[in-house]
Amino acid sequence: MKNTIVTFGEIMLRLSPPRHQRFSHATSLEVVYGGGESNVAVSLAQFGLPVEYVTRLPAHDLGDSVLTELRRWGVGTRHALRGGERVGIYFYEKGAGHRNGKVVYDRAHSSMATIQPGMVDWKTVFAGANWFHWTGITPAISQSAADACQEAIEVANRLGLTVSFDLSYRKNLWQYGKSPAEILPPMVTGCDLILCSMEDAAVHFGIFPKGGNGGETAAIESVCGQLMARFPKAKKIVMTRRSGSDSAAQGLGAVLFDGKKLLESPVYQINQIVDRVGSGDALMAGLIYGLLTYADDQRALNFGTAAACLKHSVPGDMNLVTVAEVEALMVGQGGGRVSR
């Protein structure tokens, strides 16, 4: 398959109390599947692009169910490995009002956590592909997963694929004795597109704004410029902008720096958040689609931001929206009306 996008990571079983119940209140749990890289893959498939998702799952019924779910949404799974002990799980308690959401992980000794370098034939996986996407979640789960991801990046670089990276910092995951600052820099060196936050740049790469009190835009541009100097292969740096302190209502925008100028997306005021999990993945998928489709960075950024906005209206991890719906929002045809 030509011009395929490949993503690599762990897809998990997500268990959540119904509505906005707390863990202590719940007598049942809702089941969906999700994971940063699989969320990107599903979004891209909904946008009509060919995508292959590489992961490792146990050879039992639950592993089969995960693959069935991915195939249901058009994601290729022919390179998924079978083996290991278990599917990773995460428990998600939705926030409400000023109460934050909460995640509890149960993914130790999962099939992906025990993956080893050499298990995936990356040269075969990347045959006919033009893009590889990974996140900081994969190297967070184990040293061997980090090594396997590093292997993938190196092969993708040799074959000339575009490599995108979403830092996706999860503080509760880094439990095997290494920090992101120790593991990530050599991996990010091989990336063309980086999605991170100002806080991520400071904590993981020691990069802070320079130049005094020039305001938020100047601070972002300063950090983006320093990231490009640190990781010179990167052609684009993207950061999200969020505002508000309510779990049900927030402002959302994004910026893209190409080394010369800083582009800013429209800011969407989201007043009724159904589920914000996966919104960063929706942004990344929208960016990838936009950059491959429009050849216009501003339009690609606007598409990614609109896709992320719509994700807040979709339950679960996956952003099940179409190109037409995203483009309609971009031109102001959203607003919750019924399409008849």
Q: Looking at the whole model, is its pTM more than 0.85?
A: yes
pLDDT band at 2; cut points 50, 70, 90: low
CATH number for position 36: 3.40.1190.20
Does a structural domain hold residue 301? yes
Residue 248: what pLDDT? 76
91-150, pLDDT tens digit by residue?
Answer: 999 988 888 899 999 999 999 999 999 999 999 999 999 999 999 999 999 999 999 999
Q: Is residue 252 part of a domain?
A: yes
- Assigned domain for 18 exists: yes
CA-to-CA dists, residue 101 to 96, 109, 175, 211, 290, angstroms:
7, 25, 21, 36, 30
Query: Which residues form the domain of 24?
Result: 4-329
Both tokens of residue 79? 């390179």
When pLDDT is averaged across residues 167-184 and rounded to a whole number, the result is: 91
Residue 339 belongs to some domain of the structure: no
Predicted pLDDT at 338: 43
Say if 340 falls within a structural domain. no
End-to-end Cα, the chain, rounded Å: 36
Mean pLDDT score, 199-223: 88
> Is the per-residue pLDDT at 161 higher than 60?
yes
Does pLDDT of 41 surpass 50? yes
Mean pLDDT across 49-54: 98
pLDDT at 334: 63
Q: 292 lies in a domain?
A: yes
Residue 230 lies in a domain: yes
* Residue 337 domain-assigned (yes or no): no
Structural domain count of the chain: 1
